[in-house]
Amino acid sequence: MQSNQTADQESVRRVNSSLVMNALRLHAPISRAELANITKLNRSTISNIVNILIEDGMVLELDTLESKIGRPGIALALRPDGGAVIGVEIGVGFIRVILTDFVANILWRELVDYPTDKPQIEILLKAQDLIDEAIAFANKKQLRILGMGLGVPGLVDVQKGLLLFAPNLGWQDVPLRLMFGQRFHMPVYVENEANLGALGEYYFGVCRNVDNFIYISSGVGLGGGVIINGKLFKGGRGFAGEIGHIQRDPQGERCGCGRRGCWETQVGPRAVLQRVKQSIKANTGQTKPNYIQGDPEKLTFEQVVDYALKGDQLCRSAMEQVGENLGRGIADLSNIFNPQMVVIGGAFYPAREIILPVLERTIANETLPAVKQDLRVIFSEHGADANVLGAIAIVLDDILRGIALV
């Protein structure tokens, strides 16, 4: 058994190496002196950690660098071929798998759609087939795979790697870490997809230097990830951020969670599509929009956005309604959390030019003056990749901390 003193030293080393890795991730190329300056660690600690990382093939020395603090030094950077990571997103109707190198460059990607009524086991096996392909690609390039991050649209027990409840998939109590860990023999991290989206933006996206922001994920439903002081806010048992289930209308439509009038039933893409279909059906006779050739049931959310952009009034007002309802919810969240930024990811991106003006007007009206002062609301540029990039981020984050433990 470990003595307390050894355990303490180990935890200090963990924290220190994590500081060094994160400084390298954010500021490379960077000299040892600059690393010491940024991390506030002393030079010999930096040297020890860096030496281990170089031996392990994680860090490389570049040419001499003119240091920002005066002294020239050898520039250090993470080695892109230091390892590979797999990011997986099991969404409603699709599976996305990417393979990245050690600095999160995407090396390989695959996206497959599946009908939402497929049995769970079939969907999981399909995901595993795709992961096999990613592994084969990494092997061909002689990259060692460090781990796998898995995103799902539901409540996750992160400690156990267990998907507790995903209303839009109809799944409950799925031991994903156990299943994927046994199959692939590598560390497996499971997280809620919106939390991953937030981490994706924090590490690789528009929020790299933003320590307080809210990420809103719109896939089929609506999820959220809240970053406070540079850390994902998890709440007591890790379930924080279920913003889609804030009740905004007690008499509203029934939600996947069983209650009525959740925010998701107002602005979730599936709910919006449903309402557009109903309006079209109710709109019989000569006013029926001419783009509906056959069954309105076959309409997709992407088509609704497309028609809205082309000027169709019914679809356009549906999107404007999204802007207003989204804005009201964001105003409430902003009044609570006072974020520097709100990032909207996922399905609304193509409709941003219609949604954003309405959204900004509503936020301006509904947010406390002091809170809205420096608030920025933007649409994620990562679009569909934000969540899988977040899956890569949690693996790198955790693996990198452990690496210099030797």
Task: Kindly tell me which of 245 and 316 has the beta carbon lying closer to Zn ion.
Answer: 245
Beta strands in 219-302 (DSSP E): 222-228, 231-232
Which of 402, 404, 398 has its CA nearest to residue 203?
A: 398
Residues 374 and 86: their CA atoms lie apart, in Å, by: 36
DSSP element (H, E) containing 86: strand 84-90
**DSSP code of 262?**
B
Q: How far is the CB of 262 from Zn ion (least distance, A)?
A: 3
Q: How far is the CB of 395 from Zn ion (least distance, A)?
A: 30
Q: How far is the CB of 264 from Zn ion (least distance, A)?
A: 6
Q: How far is the CB of 253 from Zn ion (least distance, A)?
A: 10
Task: Kindly tell me which of 17 and 217 has the beta carbon lying closer to Zn ion.
Answer: 217
Token reading at 149:
């991050």
User: How does 219-235 read in b/e, with b if 16+ C-beta sit within 10 Å?
Assistant: bbbbbbbbbeeeebbbe
Residues 334 and 377: their CA atoms lie apart, in Å, by: 11
Which of 401, 379, 65, 79 has its CA nearest to residue 207?
A: 379
Task: Kindly tell me which of 27 and 248 has the beta carbon lying closer to Zn ion.
Answer: 248
Task: Kindly tell me which of 75 and 333 has the beta carbon lying closer to Zn ion.
Answer: 333
Token reading at 83:
């390892």
Task: Kindly tell me which of 271 and 315 has the beta carbon lying closer to Zn ion.
Answer: 271
Q: How far is the CB of 163 from Zn ion (least distance, A)?
A: 17
Which of 338, 344, 350 has its CA nearest to residue 379?
A: 344
Task: Kindly tell me which of 262 and 318 has the beta carbon lying closer to Zn ion.
Answer: 262
Across-strand partners of 112? Answer: 95
Q: How far is the CB of 225 from Zn ion (least distance, A)?
A: 17
Q: How far is the CB of 258 from Zn ion (least distance, A)?
A: 7
In 56-175, which ranges are continuous DSSP H helix? Answer: 120-140
Across-strand partners of 378? Answer: 343
Binding site for Zn ion (CB under 5 A): 245, 255, 257, 262
Task: Kindly tell me which of 259 and 298 has the beta carbon lying closer to Zn ion.
Answer: 259
Task: Kindly tell me which of 261 and 383 has the beta carbon lying closer to Zn ion.
Answer: 261
Q: How far is the CB of 257 from Zn ion (least distance, A)?
A: 3
Give yes or no for a contact between 100 and 392, defined as CB atoms under 8 angstroms apart: yes
Residues 381 and 71: their CA atoms lie apart, in Å, by: 38
